[in-house]
Structure 1
Amino acid sequence: MPEPARKRSDDLARLKGIGEVGATRLALELFWREFSNRRQVGACVGLVPQPYDSGESQTDQGISKQGNRRVRALLVEMAWIWLRYQPGSALTQWFNRRTQGTGPNRRARRIAIVAVARRLAIALWRYLKDGIIPEGAQMKSI
């Protein structure tokens, strides 16, 4: 593995809830690129809303599903794991507020987890780029 990717992988694996394999896959398949802003990160993995414009009607149709589907699937799985291992993080609290009161409605939870995956990708990008640890996230004890 190239040295910059190894460093990124090691940095990601320091966060609780992100394993060595997931960190390595993200480093090799997503974070080898240089992104200028958060929108580019979300668009690269296809986790942004797809707009629909027709006449005066303007709505979002769901995620675009453009980009690397393996990374998209990995980020969704990481989002579920993040909820479990990072209960005090801002992302987990956002998810809990968003899905509160939905009861057994699994569809609402599945829709919300995609938003968590996009936000997690952006938070991890910021962590690698600027060293900003995601709000409320815990690091692994060494």
Structure 2
Amino acid sequence: MTKQSPLTYATNGLAALRDNLRGEFVGALLVILGGFLLWRVAAYVPGDGSPPLLTTLTGWTAPLFAASLVIIGLVLIFRRRAGYWSAEALIGVELLLLGLMGATFVRSEGIANWNTQFDGTAGGVIGWALGNLALNLLGAS
């Protein structure tokens, strides 16, 4: 039997770990990221400086977006133990949130407004972009 170098041993160990824990690792990262973002959004007090990045990007849907990241991470961690979760439903929730952001901008503005609002109002920056595209393609509401 030949002796393996420590680098080969570590490489083989990391490959085995990656093969067995890939989904769980990504799930753990999503849970940590979603929890951190949710904590930042919940800890923000209006009037104390600029809003958190997630609120700037997604507007009022920021807590929903962060919670969906946590749920997707938990589904990846627990897999079959979490019950049946279809990938289509998880993607559908994210698309619903994108639609809510765009609809919030369309509802609050009514006409295309290409002046970016970085305060998280009217669906955030993502809602601003999607809402302006929808208003330009479909016309004013």
Fold in common (TM above 0.5): no
Higher strand share: 1
Higher helix share: 2
Q: TM-score, normalised by structure 2?
A: 0.28
